[in-house]
Amino acid sequence: MPTTKTDLQPVFEKLRGILKKYEKHLTVVTDKPGEYYVDAGYSEQWKKNVCFGVAKVQKNYVSFHLMAVYGCPALLDGFSPELKKRMQGKSCFNFASVDPALFQELAALTKAGFEVYKKQGWV
Q: Average pLDDT, stretch 24-30?
A: 95
pLDDT of residue 96: 96
Q: Is the pLDDT of residue 1 over 50?
A: no
Question: Cα(95)–Cα(98) distance, rounded to whole angstroms?
Answer: 7
Q: Tens of pLDDT along 28-63?
A: 999 999 999 999 988 788 788 899 999 999 999 999
CB 62 within 8 A of CB 50: no
Residue 55 pLDDT: 98
Residue 4 has pLDDT above 60, yes or no: no
**Of residues 71 and 64, which shows the higher confidence score?**
64
Beta strands in the chain (DSSP E): 27-32, 35-43, 48-57, 62-66, 87-88, 92-95
Q: In Å, how far are 44, 47, 68 from 93, measured between CA atoms?
A: 28, 27, 13
Tens-place pLDDT, residues 77-99: 989 999 999 999 999 999 999 99
